């Protein structure tokens, strides 16, 4: 499988590292907004092409698939362009920053029949997979999820502490993880959604604090708190209150309500969620099937985010 990666920032590097651990994958090209960065990263990972223009990649016959780890505002447009060029695409979360754009990407996937997958990594983290397997086996069910997503980002910095050329978004990016995961783990659509936002940051032009409430069709609930003003600890903490137990997940660590560690090391072939989602992407292409995290399987998340966006604007 010949793969190009667009975006050489923090998550582009995570994907490149993951691809190197997967058999029968060739990294063909690296795209970055800075040519010097593209060349440096391409050389490190053995790619033959370094460029600042995604279209240079889309015109090549030796590229089967593209992973987009580019700014949020480009995701929908670049996903459509990639599929129009006949390439399979995995786009990092979020799929889009509007409901209309998300629907458009799904429509183009249906037209082309190509694999279009969205990087909803929480579906793949072993901690969440472990619980999902229990739920699918009928051994448990979610009653309530309580989630905290906390960062300290009062300036445009990425996960590596490097300057960003774009502004991150609590709703369309970080809330997307939990909105999708709640529906995925509960097995039900979200039918009620409410949001409140704190003051707009004058420099960044976005709210830095947000609270979201969700309810599924049978009455399961989720409460999500998000902040770019939190000085620590950083990251996302998930509390699952279930019919037969309580579980707390933070990335790949999982404990139960009695503070006992649950071993999730055998859940999948890797403990790296990014690697697992990349494996799913490439496997779906090879098998000609719809992947877990396909644009259609996550689309309802963006319907909910669109509703919340309208509430906040109002």
Instruction: Identify the CATH number of the domain in which residue 261 sits.
Output: 3.30.360.10
Decide if 43 is inside a domain.
yes
Residue 229 banded pLDDT, cuts 50, 70, 90: very high
Are residue 176 and residue 210 in the same domain, yes or no?
Answer: yes
Whether residue 299 is contained in a domain is answered as no
Span 132-158, average pLDDT: 93
What is the percent of the chain where pLDDT is above 90? 91
> Is residue 87 located within the same domain as residue 8?
yes
Q: How far apart are CA 129 and CA 146, in angstroms?
A: 17
Asked if 147 and 225 touch (Cβ cutoff 8 Å), the reply is yes
- Same domain, residue pair 163 and 226: yes
What does the pLDDT look like over 236-272, one tens digit per residue? 999 999 999 999 999 889 999 999 999 999 999 999 9
Whether residue 190 lies inside any domain: the answer is: yes
For residues 212 and 194, is the Cβ–Cβ distance under 8 A? yes
**Together in a domain, 100 and 227:** no
pLDDT (mean) for 282-288: 98
Q: What pLDDT, on a 0 to 100 scale, did the predictor assign at position 111?
A: 98
- CA torsion 283→288→290→295, rounded to 10°? 90
What is the structure's pLDDT at 163?
A: 73
Residue 307 included in any domain: no
Domain range holding 219? 125-267
CA proximity to 209, closest of 155, 152, 159, 145: 152
pTM of the entire predicted model: 0.95
**Residues 248, 284 within the same domain:** no
User: 174 and 131: one domain?
Assistant: yes
| Residue 135, phi then psi, degrees to nearest 5 | -65, -45
Rounded to whole angstroms, the Cα distance separating 291 from 276 reads 12
Per the structure, the count of domains in the chain is 2
Sheet holding 26-31, edge to edge: 49-51, 26-31, 2-6, 65-68, 88-92, 116-119
In-domain check, residue 297:
no
Q: Same domain, yes or no, for 170 and 232?
A: yes
Lowest model confidence (mean pLDDT) among 9-13, 113-117, 136-140, 162-166: 162-166
Question: How big is the chain by its Cα radius of gyration, in Å?
Answer: 19
Residue 232: how many other CB atoms lie within 10 Å:
8
Q: Cβ(22)–Cβ(275) under 8 Å?
A: yes
Kindly state whether residues 159 and 222 are assigned to the same domain.
yes
Measure CA 117 to chain center: 10
Sheet holding 142-150, edge to edge: 190-197, 209-216, 221-227, 142-150, 235-242, 245-250, 253-256
Predicted pLDDT at 159: 63
Same domain, 112 and 204: no
Same domain? 189 vs 100: no
| Average pLDDT, rounded, for the chain | 96
Which residues in 152-169 are b (16+ Cβ under 10 Å) and which e?
A: ebeeeeeeeeeeeeeebb
Do the domain assignments include residue 310? no
């Amino acid at each position: 499988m010949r793969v190009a990666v667009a975006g050489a920032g923090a998550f582009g590097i995570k994907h490149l590292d993951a691809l190197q651990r997967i058999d029968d994958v060739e990294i063909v090209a690296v795209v970055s907004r800075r040519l010097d960065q593209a060349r440096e990263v391409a050389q490190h990972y053995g790619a033959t092409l370094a460029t600042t223009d995604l279209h240079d990649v889309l015109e090549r016959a030796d590229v089967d698939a593209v992973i987009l780890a580019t700014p949020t505002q480009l995701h929908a447009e670049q996903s459509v362009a990639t599929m129009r060029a006949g390439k399979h695409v995995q786009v990092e979360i979020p799929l889009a920053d509007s409901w209309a754009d998300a629907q458009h990407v799904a429509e183009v996937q249906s037209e082309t029949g190509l694999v279009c997958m969205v990087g909803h990594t929480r579906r793949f983290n072993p901690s969440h997979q472990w619980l999902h397997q229990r739920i699918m086996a009928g051994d448990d069910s979610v009653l309530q999820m309580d989630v905290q997503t906390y960062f300290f980002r009062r300036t445009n910095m990425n996960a590596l502490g490097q300057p960003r050329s774009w502004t991150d978004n609590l709703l369309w990016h970080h809330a997307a993880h939990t909105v999708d995961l709640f529906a995925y783990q509960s097995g039900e659509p979200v039918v009620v959604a409410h949001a409140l936002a704190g003051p707009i940051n004058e420099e960044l032009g976005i709210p830095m604090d947000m609270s979201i409430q969700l309810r599924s069709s049978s009455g399961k609930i989720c409460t999500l708190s998000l902040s770019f003003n939190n000085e620590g600890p950083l990251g996302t903490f998930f509390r699952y209150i279930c019919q037969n137990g309580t579980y707390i997940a933070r990335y790949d660590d999982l404990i139960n309500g009695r503070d006992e560690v649950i071993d999730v090391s055998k859940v999948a072939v890797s403990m790296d969620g990014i690697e697992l989602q990349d494996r799913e992407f490439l496997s779906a292409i090879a098998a000609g099937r719809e992947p877990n995290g396909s644009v259609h399987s996550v689309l309802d998340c963006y319907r909910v985010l669109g509703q919340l966006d309208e509430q906040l604007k109002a």
